[in-house]
Chains A and B, each alone.
Chain A
Amino acid sequence: MEIQEKNDVTVIVMDERFDAALGRELKDIVQNMGDQTTIKLVIDLSKTSFIDSSASGALVFCWRSAKKNNGDMKITGPSDHVKSLFRLTRIDTVVKLYDNVEAALESFAQNESMPE
């Protein structure tokens, strides 16, 4: 996992296998961001080929945390398999998916978000 700061957005690049252990790490990072006025998160899954139910739950936790802090979370580069999983678990109904990080950053700049 790799963390990058791009202006006021935190970009987290996930590993090839995103499972319970990495999910816990991600939740810890986002929990520690709780003091920030606004949490703007991009979770980049372009390197991720495998994601399990715990990791999927961790993404929901992060999205809820961002929303609670007047922010938002966007996901970039999901594979077809990961998209299928997001359809099953309904993550795609609350988190906007982008092809790449640049597109997600641009949408933050334009203040785009999923309809409530």
Chain B
Amino acid sequence: MENELTVRIETPATIVMLTPLDLFVRNMIQQFPSFSEAEGLVDMLELAFHEAFSNIACHAYRSAVEGRITIQIIVGVHELEFRFEDNGESFDPDDVPTPNLTDGPCEEGLGIWLIRQIMDDYLYSCDKGCKNVLRLIKQIPGPTPDLNNGVGP
């Protein structure tokens, strides 16, 4: 992405970190009017981030080994990306069944489906070194953000 603003965070993959990270992401993207002025968008982006982080913490690192996650939040001129990198167990998101909501609401299996409803792109890859990379991309609605003045120091 050209003229992008990137924040990189490396953190233990533990649920204890979830709420502080959710709030950081929320406060960061709220600085951009393109997001904050679109009704409900900040709430939904926070939810997508939350679901992705908790999936990695609970499923990729389900063994006792304490893992780490590297998160990048990248705000470009035309899109926002949440990028998660971890060394936990790999998985194929296409193997995760879509919840059947035709007969009513479901109790389980909504996390990845919700992320896909919120974000424009859900891109997962796993390289030979067992690094999982999940990229969640949302196109920015309305006027492009001012990357110099949209976010305070």
Contacts and interface: CB of A to CB of B under 8 A. Distances in A.
Interface residues of B, number: 23
Interface in A14-73: 17, 19-21, 49-50, 52-54, 56-58, 60-61, 64
Nearest to A27: B107
A17 B51 contact: no
Given A84-B44, A89-B101, A53 B111 contact: yes
Contacts of B22: 50
Interface of A: 17, 19-21, 49-50, 52-54, 56-58, 60-61, 64, 80-81, 84-85, 88-91, 93-94
B54 A89 contact: no
A19 B18 CA distance: 10
B105 A91 contact: yes
Nearest to A56: B110
Given A52-B50, A52-B51, A80 B105 contact: no
A84 B47 CA distance: 12
Contacts of A19: 18-19, 50, 54
Nearest to A85: B47
A85 B15 CA distance: 22
B104 A93 contact: yes
Contact of B107 (A20, A50, A60): A60
Contacts of B104: 90, 93-94
B62 to A, nearest CB: 14
Given A17-B19, A19-B18, A53-B51, A89 B44 contact: no
